[in-house]
Amino acid sequence: MERLFKLRQSGTNVKTEILAGFTTFLTMAYIVVVNPAILSAAGVPFDQVFLATIISAVVGTLIMALWANYPIAIAPGMGMNAYFVSIVATQGVSYQVVFGAVLLAGLIFLLLTFTKFRELLLESIPDSLKYGITAGIGLFIAFLGLKMSGLVVPNEDTLVSFGEPSDPQTLLAIVGLLVTLILVARNVQGALFIGMFVTAIIGYFTGMLHIDKIASAPPPVVFFDLDIAGVFSHSLYTVVLAYLLVTIFDTTGTMIGVAEQANLMKDGKLPKAKAALTADAVATTVGATLGSTPSSAYVESSSGVAVGGRTGLTTLVVAILFLISLFFSPIVAAISSLSAITAPALIIVGSFMLAGLANIKWKEFDEAFPTFAVVIMMPLTSSIATGIAVGFITYPLLKVMRGKWREVHPILYLFGVIFVLQMIYFPGH
Protein backbone atom coordinates (compact mmCIF):
# COMPACT_ATOMS: atom_id res chain seq x y z
CA MET A 1 0.00 0.00 0.00
CA GLU A 2 2.75 2.43 1.04
CA ARG A 3 4.78 1.85 -2.13
CA LEU A 4 1.77 1.81 -4.49
CA PHE A 5 0.10 4.98 -3.20
CA LYS A 6 3.13 6.80 -1.66
CA LEU A 7 1.21 7.40 1.56
CA ARG A 8 4.10 8.68 3.71
CA GLN A 9 5.25 11.01 0.94
CA SER A 10 1.71 12.43 0.79
CA GLY A 11 1.55 12.86 4.57
CA THR A 12 -1.22 10.33 5.17
CA ASN A 13 -1.82 6.74 6.35
CA VAL A 14 -4.06 3.74 5.59
CA LYS A 15 -6.62 4.51 8.32
CA THR A 16 -7.06 8.13 7.18
CA GLU A 17 -7.37 7.12 3.52
CA ILE A 18 -10.01 4.45 4.27
CA LEU A 19 -12.05 6.93 6.32
CA ALA A 20 -11.76 9.46 3.49
CA GLY A 21 -12.93 6.81 0.99
CA PHE A 22 -16.05 6.04 3.06
CA THR A 23 -16.75 9.78 3.44
CA THR A 24 -16.49 10.46 -0.29
CA PHE A 25 -18.65 7.45 -1.13
CA LEU A 26 -21.40 8.47 1.29
CA THR A 27 -21.54 12.01 -0.13
CA MET A 28 -21.85 10.78 -3.74
CA ALA A 29 -23.75 7.49 -3.26
CA TYR A 30 -26.98 9.30 -4.16
CA ILE A 31 -26.00 8.98 -7.85
CA VAL A 32 -26.62 5.20 -7.67
CA VAL A 33 -30.27 6.00 -6.89
CA VAL A 34 -30.75 9.28 -8.76
CA ASN A 35 -29.20 8.34 -12.12
CA PRO A 36 -31.49 5.32 -12.74
CA ALA A 37 -34.48 7.33 -11.44
CA ILE A 38 -33.87 10.09 -14.01
CA LEU A 39 -32.88 7.98 -17.04
CA SER A 40 -35.76 5.53 -16.58
CA ALA A 41 -38.02 8.54 -17.34
CA ALA A 42 -36.55 8.41 -20.87
CA GLY A 43 -37.47 4.75 -21.20
CA VAL A 44 -34.08 3.24 -20.33
CA PRO A 45 -34.56 0.02 -18.29
CA PHE A 46 -33.84 0.71 -14.60
CA ASP A 47 -31.51 -2.28 -14.07
CA GLN A 48 -29.49 -1.31 -17.14
CA VAL A 49 -28.83 2.22 -15.83
CA PHE A 50 -28.15 0.94 -12.31
CA LEU A 51 -25.46 -1.43 -13.57
CA ALA A 52 -24.00 1.08 -16.05
CA THR A 53 -23.81 3.79 -13.36
CA ILE A 54 -21.85 1.55 -11.01
CA ILE A 55 -19.54 -0.01 -13.61
CA SER A 56 -18.60 3.36 -15.16
CA ALA A 57 -18.00 4.76 -11.65
CA VAL A 58 -15.82 1.77 -10.72
CA VAL A 59 -13.81 1.88 -13.99
CA GLY A 60 -13.17 5.64 -13.86
CA THR A 61 -12.43 5.70 -10.14
CA LEU A 62 -10.01 2.74 -10.38
CA ILE A 63 -8.04 4.45 -13.18
CA MET A 64 -7.93 7.58 -11.02
CA ALA A 65 -6.77 5.53 -8.02
CA LEU A 66 -4.16 3.28 -9.65
CA TRP A 67 -2.78 5.46 -12.46
CA ALA A 68 -3.24 9.07 -11.38
CA ASN A 69 -3.08 8.31 -7.61
CA TYR A 70 -5.55 11.11 -6.82
CA PRO A 71 -8.36 11.17 -4.20
CA ILE A 72 -10.85 12.27 -6.88
CA ALA A 73 -13.78 9.92 -7.57
CA ILE A 74 -15.52 9.53 -10.95
CA ALA A 75 -19.19 8.73 -11.67
CA PRO A 76 -21.92 9.69 -14.17
CA GLY A 77 -22.38 13.46 -13.84
CA MET A 78 -25.50 15.27 -12.75
CA GLY A 79 -27.13 17.47 -15.39
CA MET A 80 -26.10 15.25 -18.27
CA ASN A 81 -28.79 12.76 -17.20
CA ALA A 82 -31.48 15.45 -17.12
CA TYR A 83 -30.31 16.67 -20.53
CA PHE A 84 -30.60 13.09 -21.82
CA VAL A 85 -34.27 12.94 -20.83
CA SER A 86 -34.98 16.33 -22.42
CA ILE A 87 -33.48 15.22 -25.76
CA VAL A 88 -35.57 12.04 -25.85
CA ALA A 89 -38.68 14.08 -24.96
CA THR A 90 -38.16 17.00 -27.37
CA GLN A 91 -36.33 15.49 -30.36
CA GLY A 92 -38.55 12.46 -30.85
CA VAL A 93 -35.57 10.09 -30.88
CA SER A 94 -35.04 6.83 -29.01
CA TYR A 95 -32.76 6.64 -25.99
CA GLN A 96 -30.48 4.36 -28.06
CA VAL A 97 -29.74 7.26 -30.43
CA VAL A 98 -28.81 9.56 -27.53
CA PHE A 99 -26.51 6.86 -26.10
CA GLY A 100 -24.89 6.87 -29.55
CA ALA A 101 -24.23 10.61 -29.11
CA VAL A 102 -22.80 9.97 -25.63
CA LEU A 103 -20.44 7.30 -27.00
CA LEU A 104 -19.21 9.62 -29.78
CA ALA A 105 -18.60 12.41 -27.24
CA GLY A 106 -16.70 9.95 -25.01
CA LEU A 107 -14.51 8.76 -27.88
CA ILE A 108 -13.75 12.34 -28.99
CA PHE A 109 -12.96 13.26 -25.37
CA LEU A 110 -10.62 10.26 -25.15
CA LEU A 111 -8.79 11.36 -28.31
CA LEU A 112 -8.59 14.99 -27.15
CA THR A 113 -7.05 13.87 -23.86
CA PHE A 114 -3.93 12.87 -25.78
CA THR A 115 -3.70 16.13 -27.78
CA LYS A 116 -3.07 19.82 -27.09
CA PHE A 117 -6.54 20.73 -28.42
CA ARG A 118 -8.20 20.06 -25.06
CA GLU A 119 -5.96 22.62 -23.35
CA LEU A 120 -6.46 25.05 -26.25
CA LEU A 121 -10.24 24.67 -26.01
CA LEU A 122 -10.19 25.26 -22.27
CA GLU A 123 -8.03 28.36 -22.70
CA SER A 124 -10.28 29.73 -25.45
CA ILE A 125 -13.51 29.67 -23.48
CA PRO A 126 -13.81 32.57 -21.00
CA ASP A 127 -14.40 31.89 -17.32
CA SER A 128 -17.75 33.71 -17.44
CA LEU A 129 -19.14 31.14 -19.91
CA LYS A 130 -17.68 28.21 -17.95
CA TYR A 131 -19.33 29.45 -14.75
CA GLY A 132 -22.53 30.16 -16.68
CA ILE A 133 -22.69 26.64 -18.09
CA THR A 134 -22.22 25.05 -14.65
CA ALA A 135 -24.82 27.36 -13.09
CA GLY A 136 -27.29 26.81 -15.94
CA ILE A 137 -27.02 23.05 -15.46
CA GLY A 138 -27.55 23.64 -11.74
CA LEU A 139 -30.85 25.47 -12.39
CA PHE A 140 -31.82 22.76 -14.87
CA ILE A 141 -31.27 20.05 -12.23
CA ALA A 142 -33.06 22.04 -9.51
CA PHE A 143 -36.04 22.61 -11.82
CA LEU A 144 -36.17 18.87 -12.51
CA GLY A 145 -36.16 18.20 -8.76
CA LEU A 146 -38.96 20.72 -8.19
CA LYS A 147 -41.06 19.03 -10.91
CA MET A 148 -40.34 15.53 -9.55
CA SER A 149 -41.34 16.62 -6.04
CA GLY A 150 -44.63 18.16 -7.22
CA LEU A 151 -43.61 21.57 -5.85
CA VAL A 152 -43.75 22.97 -9.40
CA VAL A 153 -46.52 21.81 -11.75
CA PRO A 154 -47.57 22.68 -15.35
CA ASN A 155 -49.94 25.60 -15.82
CA GLU A 156 -51.49 26.61 -19.17
CA ASP A 157 -51.53 30.32 -18.40
CA THR A 158 -48.12 30.75 -16.73
CA LEU A 159 -46.31 27.59 -18.00
CA VAL A 160 -45.64 26.52 -14.40
CA SER A 161 -47.05 27.26 -10.97
CA PHE A 162 -46.76 26.13 -7.34
CA GLY A 163 -47.96 22.59 -6.66
CA GLU A 164 -50.23 21.18 -3.97
CA PRO A 165 -48.27 20.88 -0.67
CA SER A 166 -51.02 18.76 0.92
CA ASP A 167 -50.43 15.96 -1.62
CA PRO A 168 -48.78 13.09 0.37
CA GLN A 169 -45.82 12.69 -2.01
CA THR A 170 -45.21 16.45 -2.26
CA LEU A 171 -45.41 16.72 1.53
CA LEU A 172 -42.87 13.90 1.86
CA ALA A 173 -40.55 15.73 -0.59
CA ILE A 174 -40.87 18.93 1.48
CA VAL A 175 -40.03 17.05 4.69
CA GLY A 176 -37.09 15.36 2.93
CA LEU A 177 -35.86 18.70 1.63
CA LEU A 178 -36.04 20.32 5.08
CA VAL A 179 -34.24 17.38 6.74
CA THR A 180 -31.49 17.42 4.10
CA LEU A 181 -31.12 21.21 4.27
CA ILE A 182 -30.61 21.00 8.04
CA LEU A 183 -27.97 18.26 7.60
CA VAL A 184 -26.14 20.26 4.92
CA ALA A 185 -26.30 23.44 7.04
CA ARG A 186 -24.80 21.50 9.98
CA ASN A 187 -21.97 20.22 7.70
CA VAL A 188 -22.90 16.58 8.34
CA GLN A 189 -20.78 14.25 6.17
CA GLY A 190 -22.95 12.42 3.65
CA ALA A 191 -25.85 14.85 4.20
CA LEU A 192 -27.54 14.11 0.83
CA PHE A 193 -27.29 10.35 1.34
CA ILE A 194 -28.54 10.52 4.95
CA GLY A 195 -31.36 12.85 3.89
CA MET A 196 -32.52 10.33 1.29
CA PHE A 197 -32.27 7.55 3.88
CA VAL A 198 -34.41 9.46 6.43
CA THR A 199 -36.97 10.37 3.72
CA ALA A 200 -37.11 6.71 2.61
CA ILE A 201 -37.81 5.56 6.18
CA ILE A 202 -40.65 8.10 6.52
CA GLY A 203 -41.98 6.99 3.12
CA TYR A 204 -41.84 3.34 4.19
CA PHE A 205 -43.77 3.89 7.44
CA THR A 206 -46.38 6.06 5.71
CA GLY A 207 -47.02 3.36 3.10
CA MET A 208 -45.61 5.28 0.14
CA LEU A 209 -42.43 3.21 -0.23
CA HIS A 210 -42.81 -0.51 -0.92
CA ILE A 211 -39.74 -2.74 -0.45
CA ASP A 212 -40.05 -6.44 -1.34
CA LYS A 213 -36.41 -7.37 -0.78
CA ILE A 214 -33.14 -5.59 -0.03
CA ALA A 215 -30.40 -7.51 -1.85
CA SER A 216 -30.09 -9.72 -4.93
CA ALA A 217 -27.57 -10.82 -7.54
CA PRO A 218 -26.45 -7.99 -9.86
CA PRO A 219 -28.68 -7.47 -12.92
CA PRO A 220 -27.43 -8.83 -16.29
CA VAL A 221 -25.05 -6.71 -18.35
CA VAL A 222 -26.50 -5.10 -21.49
CA PHE A 223 -23.88 -4.15 -24.10
CA PHE A 224 -24.18 -1.66 -26.97
CA ASP A 225 -27.88 -0.82 -26.59
CA LEU A 226 -27.23 2.23 -28.75
CA ASP A 227 -27.66 3.62 -32.26
CA ILE A 228 -24.71 5.61 -33.65
CA ALA A 229 -26.19 5.87 -37.16
CA GLY A 230 -29.22 7.63 -35.65
CA VAL A 231 -26.99 10.46 -34.40
CA PHE A 232 -26.15 11.33 -38.03
CA SER A 233 -29.63 10.70 -39.47
CA HIS A 234 -31.16 13.01 -36.83
CA SER A 235 -28.26 15.54 -37.05
CA LEU A 236 -27.61 15.45 -33.30
CA TYR A 237 -24.19 17.10 -33.72
CA THR A 238 -24.97 19.82 -31.16
CA VAL A 239 -25.88 17.15 -28.62
CA VAL A 240 -22.48 15.49 -29.10
CA LEU A 241 -20.77 18.90 -28.78
CA ALA A 242 -22.79 19.79 -25.66
CA TYR A 243 -21.86 16.52 -23.96
CA LEU A 244 -18.23 17.01 -24.96
CA LEU A 245 -17.94 20.62 -23.80
CA VAL A 246 -19.75 20.13 -20.49
CA THR A 247 -17.73 17.00 -19.70
CA ILE A 248 -14.47 18.86 -20.39
CA PHE A 249 -15.43 21.93 -18.30
CA ASP A 250 -17.01 19.98 -15.48
CA THR A 251 -14.20 17.48 -15.06
CA THR A 252 -11.31 19.89 -15.43
CA GLY A 253 -12.86 22.46 -13.11
CA THR A 254 -13.68 19.87 -10.46
CA MET A 255 -10.24 18.27 -10.65
CA ILE A 256 -8.48 21.60 -10.25
CA GLY A 257 -10.74 22.58 -7.33
CA VAL A 258 -10.28 19.31 -5.42
CA ALA A 259 -6.55 19.16 -6.26
CA GLU A 260 -6.08 22.71 -4.89
CA GLN A 261 -7.83 21.68 -1.69
CA ALA A 262 -5.57 18.61 -1.35
CA ASN A 263 -2.43 20.67 -2.16
CA LEU A 264 -1.73 18.53 -5.23
CA MET A 265 -1.22 21.45 -7.64
CA LYS A 266 2.37 22.26 -8.64
CA ASP A 267 3.05 25.79 -9.97
CA GLY A 268 -0.61 26.20 -10.88
CA LYS A 269 -0.65 22.98 -12.90
CA LEU A 270 -2.03 19.53 -12.17
CA PRO A 271 0.66 16.82 -12.40
CA LYS A 272 -0.50 13.66 -14.17
CA ALA A 273 -3.46 15.58 -15.61
CA LYS A 274 -3.50 13.26 -18.62
CA ALA A 275 -4.00 10.19 -16.40
CA ALA A 276 -6.76 11.95 -14.46
CA LEU A 277 -8.60 13.06 -17.61
CA THR A 278 -8.22 9.61 -19.17
CA ALA A 279 -10.12 8.18 -16.19
CA ASP A 280 -13.09 10.39 -17.00
CA ALA A 281 -13.00 9.76 -20.75
CA VAL A 282 -12.77 5.97 -20.38
CA ALA A 283 -15.60 5.96 -17.81
CA THR A 284 -17.80 7.98 -20.20
CA THR A 285 -17.08 5.61 -23.10
CA VAL A 286 -17.70 2.49 -21.00
CA GLY A 287 -20.86 4.00 -19.50
CA ALA A 288 -22.31 4.76 -22.96
CA THR A 289 -21.80 1.15 -24.13
CA LEU A 290 -23.66 -0.10 -21.04
CA GLY A 291 -26.40 2.54 -20.70
CA SER A 292 -25.36 5.65 -18.79
CA THR A 293 -24.64 9.32 -19.46
CA PRO A 294 -21.14 10.93 -19.40
CA SER A 295 -19.01 10.56 -16.30
CA SER A 296 -17.30 13.39 -14.49
CA ALA A 297 -14.97 14.06 -11.58
CA TYR A 298 -17.16 14.51 -8.49
CA VAL A 299 -16.89 17.67 -6.43
CA GLU A 300 -18.10 15.52 -3.49
CA SER A 301 -14.54 14.15 -3.47
CA SER A 302 -13.68 17.31 -1.52
CA SER A 303 -15.47 15.80 1.51
CA GLY A 304 -12.94 12.94 1.55
CA VAL A 305 -10.06 15.38 1.09
CA ALA A 306 -11.43 17.41 4.02
CA VAL A 307 -10.95 14.43 6.37
CA GLY A 308 -7.42 13.75 5.13
CA GLY A 309 -7.68 11.84 1.82
CA ARG A 310 -4.60 12.57 -0.29
CA THR A 311 -3.95 9.55 -2.54
CA GLY A 312 -5.55 6.96 -4.80
CA LEU A 313 -6.14 4.69 -1.80
CA THR A 314 -9.11 6.96 -0.96
CA THR A 315 -10.59 6.38 -4.42
CA LEU A 316 -9.77 2.66 -4.35
CA VAL A 317 -12.02 2.42 -1.28
CA VAL A 318 -14.73 4.39 -3.15
CA ALA A 319 -14.54 1.96 -6.10
CA ILE A 320 -14.85 -1.08 -3.79
CA LEU A 321 -17.91 0.43 -2.07
CA PHE A 322 -19.53 1.09 -5.47
CA LEU A 323 -18.93 -2.58 -6.37
CA ILE A 324 -20.61 -3.72 -3.14
CA SER A 325 -23.65 -1.57 -3.97
CA LEU A 326 -24.19 -3.73 -7.10
CA PHE A 327 -25.90 -6.30 -4.88
CA PHE A 328 -28.59 -3.90 -3.63
CA SER A 329 -30.55 -3.16 -6.81
CA PRO A 330 -34.02 -4.10 -5.37
CA ILE A 331 -33.90 -1.49 -2.60
CA VAL A 332 -32.39 1.12 -4.95
CA ALA A 333 -35.18 0.44 -7.49
CA ALA A 334 -37.83 0.85 -4.79
CA ILE A 335 -36.34 4.14 -3.57
CA SER A 336 -35.99 5.46 -7.14
CA SER A 337 -39.66 4.75 -7.85
CA LEU A 338 -40.65 7.29 -5.16
CA SER A 339 -39.41 10.59 -6.62
CA ALA A 340 -40.01 12.45 -3.33
CA ILE A 341 -36.86 10.72 -2.00
CA THR A 342 -34.52 11.75 -4.83
CA ALA A 343 -35.98 15.21 -5.63
CA PRO A 344 -34.48 17.04 -2.58
CA ALA A 345 -30.96 15.91 -3.58
CA LEU A 346 -31.48 17.36 -7.08
CA ILE A 347 -32.68 20.71 -5.73
CA ILE A 348 -29.73 21.03 -3.32
CA VAL A 349 -27.08 19.86 -5.83
CA GLY A 350 -28.52 22.46 -8.20
CA SER A 351 -27.93 25.20 -5.63
CA PHE A 352 -24.31 24.09 -5.13
CA MET A 353 -23.67 24.52 -8.86
CA LEU A 354 -24.56 28.24 -8.78
CA ALA A 355 -21.54 29.13 -6.60
CA GLY A 356 -19.36 30.15 -9.58
CA LEU A 357 -21.69 33.06 -10.40
CA ALA A 358 -19.99 34.97 -7.58
CA ASN A 359 -16.96 35.27 -9.90
CA ILE A 360 -18.86 36.99 -12.74
CA LYS A 361 -18.17 40.70 -13.39
CA TRP A 362 -21.86 41.62 -13.31
CA LYS A 363 -21.22 45.34 -13.92
CA GLU A 364 -19.49 44.60 -17.24
CA PHE A 365 -22.39 44.01 -19.64
CA ASP A 366 -20.33 42.14 -22.26
CA GLU A 367 -19.35 39.61 -19.55
CA ALA A 368 -22.63 39.56 -17.62
CA PHE A 369 -25.23 39.15 -20.37
CA PRO A 370 -23.77 36.04 -22.10
CA THR A 371 -23.53 34.38 -18.67
CA PHE A 372 -27.11 35.37 -17.85
CA ALA A 373 -28.26 34.09 -21.27
CA VAL A 374 -26.65 30.68 -20.71
CA VAL A 375 -28.07 30.38 -17.18
CA ILE A 376 -31.64 31.40 -18.12
CA MET A 377 -31.90 29.48 -21.40
CA MET A 378 -30.91 26.04 -20.10
CA PRO A 379 -33.82 25.48 -17.68
CA LEU A 380 -36.38 27.42 -19.75
CA THR A 381 -35.67 25.53 -23.00
CA SER A 382 -34.85 22.24 -21.24
CA SER A 383 -31.69 22.17 -23.34
CA ILE A 384 -28.09 22.47 -22.19
CA ALA A 385 -27.03 22.64 -25.85
CA THR A 386 -29.24 25.69 -26.50
CA GLY A 387 -27.82 27.45 -23.43
CA ILE A 388 -24.26 26.82 -24.61
CA ALA A 389 -25.11 27.97 -28.15
CA VAL A 390 -26.65 31.27 -26.97
CA GLY A 391 -23.61 31.97 -24.79
CA PHE A 392 -21.16 31.23 -27.59
CA ILE A 393 -23.06 33.52 -29.97
CA THR A 394 -23.64 36.51 -27.65
CA TYR A 395 -20.18 36.60 -26.02
CA PRO A 396 -18.11 37.31 -29.16
CA LEU A 397 -20.87 39.54 -30.57
CA LEU A 398 -20.91 41.84 -27.52
CA LYS A 399 -17.11 41.89 -27.30
CA VAL A 400 -16.90 43.04 -30.94
CA MET A 401 -19.57 45.72 -30.33
CA ARG A 402 -17.57 47.00 -27.34
CA GLY A 403 -14.36 47.13 -29.41
CA LYS A 404 -12.81 44.30 -27.41
CA TRP A 405 -12.62 41.79 -30.26
CA ARG A 406 -8.97 41.00 -29.45
CA GLU A 407 -10.06 39.54 -26.08
CA VAL A 408 -11.94 36.75 -27.86
CA HIS A 409 -10.05 33.61 -28.86
CA PRO A 410 -10.39 32.75 -32.60
CA ILE A 411 -11.91 29.36 -31.71
CA LEU A 412 -14.79 31.20 -30.02
CA TYR A 413 -15.60 33.04 -33.26
CA LEU A 414 -15.61 29.71 -35.08
CA PHE A 415 -18.00 28.17 -32.52
CA GLY A 416 -20.22 31.28 -32.69
CA VAL A 417 -20.63 30.90 -36.47
CA ILE A 418 -21.24 27.14 -36.16
CA PHE A 419 -23.97 27.69 -33.54
CA VAL A 420 -25.67 30.42 -35.62
CA LEU A 421 -25.78 28.06 -38.62
CA GLN A 422 -27.04 25.23 -36.41
CA MET A 423 -29.87 27.38 -35.01
CA ILE A 424 -30.92 28.44 -38.52
CA TYR A 425 -30.73 25.05 -40.25
CA PHE A 426 -31.20 22.60 -37.34
CA PRO A 427 -33.42 24.42 -34.83
CA GLY A 428 -34.16 22.37 -31.72
CA HIS A 429 -31.10 20.12 -32.21
Is 217 exposed, middle or buried, given 0-12, 13-18 or 19+ CB atoms closer than 10 A? exposed
pLDDT in tens, 12-45: 999 999 999 999 998 899 999 999 999 998 999 9
Distances (CA, A) of 226 to 10, 44, 332: 43, 11, 24
Mean pLDDT of the 287-303 span: 92
Mean pLDDT of the chain, nearest integer: 91
Residue 160's pLDDT is what?
92
Of residues 265 and 81, the one with the higher pLDDT is 81
Residue 271's pLDDT is what?
83
Of residues 167 and 383, the one with the higher pLDDT is 167
pLDDT in tens, 300-310: 898 899 889 99
> Quick one: pLDDT band at residue 426, thresholds 50, 70, 90?
low
Residue 429 has pLDDT above 60, yes or no: no
Residue 125's pLDDT is what?
83
pLDDT in tens, 327-370: 999 998 898 889 999 899 989 988 988 988 999 999 999 999 99
Q: What is the percent of the chain where pLDDT is above 90? A: 62
Of residues 1 and 154, the one with the higher pLDDT is 154
Residue 91's pLDDT is what?
86
pLDDT in tens, 208-243: 999 988 999 999 999 999 999 999 999 898 899 888
Residue 268's pLDDT is what?
67
Distances (CA, A) of 204 to 150, 174, 328, 341: 19, 16, 17, 11
> Quick one: pLDDT band at residue 320, thresholds 50, 70, 90?
very high
pLDDT in tens, 176-215: 999 999 999 998 878 888 999 999 999 999 999 999 889 9
pLDDT in tens, 133-161: 888 888 988 998 999 899 999 999 999 99
Q: What is the percent of the chain where pLDDT is above 70? A: 98
Residue 427's pLDDT is what?
64
Domain ranges of the chain: 2-353+360-425
